[in-house]
Chain A
């Protein structure tokens, strides 16, 4: 049962992420990232990391990607701004870098024999287990993330304020 579902969701994930990178329409990029996040969440459930899979669906597919869609629609990217974009001359260079990266990954995995023989443990990432360790051993990082989110809010507010005060004439390029 598990190998079939792993390969199914891995294939969905790979094709969706290829579509994120290669599709022309920004709307399709965002929507295929939603598909990729769904497949990723299914993989996490296969790995019995239930809490993280659920948070991934709620935060990523629910909030972050809706935010992306909102920005794509808000920017009103008409066909002109998309088609006048010249093709990148360094596209082959990026493909080469990705290929080299993948091959080096595979070489590293081949030498990593222990990964092939390791057995899956019986831990289950339920909310109870994650919550227990989150509020005991990892309390300080958890509190620091709230500080990070507050700094992010300050940054966005200051950006928006600058846009309001100086963005009256928007066509000064």
Chain B
């Protein structure tokens, strides 16, 4: 029997993996990918709560989260491409200046 606790535990595991990726990786692309994992983990929680509470609002919030993630990825990848053009690397340690 799959309960709400199973989905929440899965969400916690995925969130932890994503958090590890955000904290430890120096590659900016990998940080962005791990951010997607964090959003996916929160999406699991939202859909599971929506199913077990009988409320559609959770699934709507997942819809909005996907939209926000699309905007975030577009801006983030544009910044990554600019950073590669300027610094010819995508290591996060090389970003030492706030303004160039």
Residues of chain A touching chain B, judged by Cβ–Cβ distance below 8 Å, are: 2-3, 6, 10, 13-14, 17-18, 20-21, 26, 29-30, 33, 36-37, 40, 43-44, 47-49, 51-52, 55-56, 59-60, 63-64, 67-68, 71-72, 74-75, 77, 81, 85, 88, 90-91, 93-95, 97-99, 101-102, 105-106, 109, 112, 115-123, 125, 129-130, 133-134, 138, 141-142, 145, 148-149, 151-152, 155-156, 159-160, 162-163, 167, 170-173
Contacts and interface: CB of A to CB of B under 8 A. Distances in A.
Contact of B50 (A49, A94, A102): A49
A110 B60 CA distance: 28
Nearest to A99: B16
Contacts of B5: 109, 112, 115-116
Contacts of A21: 17-18, 20-21, 24-25, 30, 34, 37
Determine chain B's interface SS by DSSP, over half rule. helix
Contacts of B20: 21, 94-95, 97-98
Contacts of B6: 6, 10
A60 to B, nearest CB: 7
Interface of B: 1-10, 12-21, 23-27, 29-30, 32-34, 36-37, 40, 43-44, 47-48, 50-57, 59-60, 62-64, 66-71, 73-75, 77-82, 84-91
A33 B64 CA distance: 20
A121 to B, nearest CB: 3
B33 A29 contact: yes
7 contacts: A21-B30, A21-B37, A43-B7, A59-B66, A72-B29, A105-B15, A156-B74
Contacts of A118: 3-4, 52-53
Contacts of B81: 71, 74-75, 163
Given A40-B43, A75-B90, A102 B16 contact: yes
Contacts of B8: 105, 109, 112, 115
A120 B64 contact: no
Contacts of A52: 43, 47, 59, 62-63, 66
Contacts of B68: 145, 148
Given A72-B29, A173-B87, A64 B34 contact: no
Q: Pick the 4 closest A-B CB pairs, nearest first.
A: A121-B54, A105-B12, A94-B24, A21-B21
Contacts of B50: 47, 49, 123, 125
Contacts of A85: 26-27, 91
Given A56-B43, A102-B12, A138-B60, 13 more contacts: A21-B34, A26-B27, A43-B44, A71-B80, A75-B80, A75-B81, A75-B90, A95-B24, A97-B23, A98-B19, A125-B47, A142-B64, A156-B74
